[in-house]
Structure 1
Amino acid sequence: THEDLQKRIMKIREDVRYADSQDRQFMLSDLAFLLEDEARLGTRIQGMGAGQSSPYFSKLVSDEAIYISKYLSDPDNNVVKYTSPIAVLRYKEVGQVGKVNGIAHRIREKQVLDIQKSTLKRLEYTDIDTAFAYDGNKVVFPQKQSRDLPVSKASLDTLVTEIAETSEAKKYVLGEIITKMREEQDSVMRAPYQGVTLVKGAAGSGKTNIAFHRIVYLTSEYPEEFRQQAIAVFCYNVALKKYLSNMLVELNIPQVQVFSIDEWIYTILRQVTNIGWPNYDEDPWTKITKTRKEILPILNAFYNENKSQLI
């Protein structure tokens, strides 16, 4: 249990103070593994807590029902996290076929839901010949139903848009964006983890959304290769750092580190120089040299010659 794990961690931290150098090395190694286990278990517990009030946001029926969740993964009850491969089927419409791992799935029924604090706030339902929307108060049909006439998807889209515009505005948070991710954003999130994934776009185009959900994807689908504690996010100011840190907690990846560029550079400088030493005193000749413009061409030449080693 989580409590037992915490007790073991506390005991090692206490015992390591009195251990000799050889035993201390083994104990610190054990402590590192236990801390990783604690982080994984803590993430799972937090996800289960969030999932109790909002268990899933999409339901698909193919050969069997599939429930897509922001937080949970429960294969025994066909609940999958949105990072799971089969979750891409939520972008298919009723009647369409999607392939996952070589297996074809025809969508027979589709539901998009908004469940908050265990209460259904919104529902969009579509099957082969029926469609309706629920706004938390009433059920509305986009047109008169007929079992002989398929419902127009466009008419349902119009109805859902009208309901959304008249409902209470939601705060703009990454957790809510999971349900609104476009298929192309989802594809970038699932890009192969080998190599570099570069995402470019204008301000407000969703780059941060994709980057953060990709972290969730990598830590969820490849937990052995990508540990939260080994991932870092860099930004340009402290205010943005605070905002991004809050978003990481909301997405249940709280162990990911966030650095502002200046903070990170200062940390590195303290590690490789004596700048943090209390008695640090710069050589006066070095200080004079650094402030003379004649030294700039020399520094530029040195940088260009050693660029590959410095960067």
Structure 2
Amino acid sequence: MTEKYKTSILDHADYQKEVERLEFTKLYIKTILEASRENKQSFTENIKQAFVDLDYLDSSLSYINILTNAKFLELAGNELERLESILNKPYFSRINFKKQEDEVEEILYIGKTSLYDRENQMPIIVDWRSPIANVYYDGRLGEVSYEVNGEQREGYLSLKRQYEIEEGKLKAFHDIDLTTHDDLLQKSLSGKADNRLTEIVTTIQKEQNEVIRASLQHPIIVQGAAGSGKTTIALHRISYFLYTFGERFSRKADDSCAKQAFHRLYI
């Protein structure tokens, strides 16, 4: 990145607001992480105490207590892992979108996982696999639509913005019309193999998004040169289906769903 380009970003009218939004998001994540660590410790202590209080003459209540706290402990652990993984790069894009039936435009930040304000349930980060994220991946500026549970929702897309965030610092952002910025895409594809799965989601193009979200009812053939991201898109397809239909599957069924999604995508 040239010094001239850096200066232009610093001079952008939204630069300070974007820095403040990033700092707010990181602070909120840290607050939730601290609460999750405290909850995890509390659930662990509750389980230990439940074992101490275990009475073979009337054990059902104690066992329920153990199982309940064990489930809460698992949820707290999952939340810790999920939020720790995004702390230094909580989101990668933003859309300004006004639904047809609304009067107020929404500003939505899209990342690898969702995060909601615990007081008002407003989205702080929108998961890239959510229906409205299609507006970012598929839509161009202007009138757009996306599907939710078989119904079309329409609205107006006035801004699509991509971010470069490294180690929790805002390095640059780009306002775009098409989904991806070529420099970002090439950087994602040329990076280390263990980073490609997490980085490619920031630059998914319209055609790739169609493959990821396509129905499991029909086979798909994808052609591309070596290193073009075919396998990575297949893995994101699996991630999308587990996110969308995860409540329908047991852990064992998740493996079956993953295999089906992968096998139907010819690489």
Distance in 2, Cα, partners of 1:177 & 1:59: 16
TM-score (norm 1): 0.50
Distance in 2, Cα, partners of 1:198 & 1:55: 34
The percent identity for this pair of structures is: 17
Which of 1 and 2 has greater Rg? 1
Distance in 1, Cα, partners of 2:213 & 2:184: 29
Secondary structure at 2:163's aligned position in 1? strand
Whether 1:10 and 2:41 are equivalent positions in the alignment is: no
| Cα deviations by residue, 1:162-186 (Å, 9 ceiling, x for unpaired) | 5654799322342223224422134
Q: 1:124 to 1:202 in 2, by over 3 A?
A: same
- Provide the residue aligned with 1:55 in structure 2: 90
> Gaps (5+ residues) in structure 2?
1-38, 98-104, 224-229, 257-267
Q: Which of 81, 102, 110 does residue 46 from structure 1 map onto? A: 81
TM-score (norm 2): 0.57
Contact 2:88 2:166 in 1 (8 A): yes
Distance in 1, Cα, partners of 2:212 & 2:79: 23
Q: Which of 69, 72, 92 does residue 114 from structure 2 map onto? A: 72
1:1-311 maps to which residues of 2 (within 5 A)? 1-16=39-54, 19-20=55-56, 23-62=58-97, 63-74=105-116, 75-76=121-122, 78-91=124-137, 92-101=139-148, 102-121=152-171, 123-126=173-176, 160-161=181-182, 165=186, 169-172=190-193, 173-181=196-204, 182-188=208-214, 201=221, 204-205=230-231, 206-219=233-246, 222=247, 225-226=248-249, 229=251, 232-233=254-255
Distance in 2, Cα, partners of 1:186 & 1:168: 17
Distance in 2, Cα, partners of 1:171 & 1:122: 21
Distance in 2, Cα, partners of 1:218 & 1:36: 21
Secondary structure at 2:142's aligned position in 1? coil
- CA apart distance, 1:107: 0.8
Contact 1:199 1:207 in 2 (8 A): no
Letter in 2 for 1:97: V
Cα root mean square deviation, aligned = 3.5
Letter in 1 for 2:210: E
Aligned residues: 191
Distance in 2, Cα, partners of 1:122 & 1:168: 19
| Cα deviations by residue, 1:14-68 (Å, 9 ceiling, x for unpaired) | 444xx31x63444334433322222222222222223321111110012221111
Contact 2:162 2:176 in 1 (8 A): no
Secondary structure at 1:55's aligned position in 2? coil
Q: Which runs of 4+ in 1 moved over 4 A?
A: 162-168, 196-205, 229-232
- CA apart distance, 1:86: 1.6
> Gaps (5+ residues) in structure 1?
128-152, 235-311
Letter in 2 for 1:94: L
Contact 1:56 1:70 in 2 (8 A): yes
Contact 1:47 1:72 in 2 (8 A): no
- Provide the residue aligned with 1:276 in structure 2: none
| Cα deviations by residue, 1:249-292 (Å, 9 ceiling, x for unpaired) | xxxxxxxxxxxxxxxxxxxxxxxxxxxxxxxxxxxxxxxxxxxx
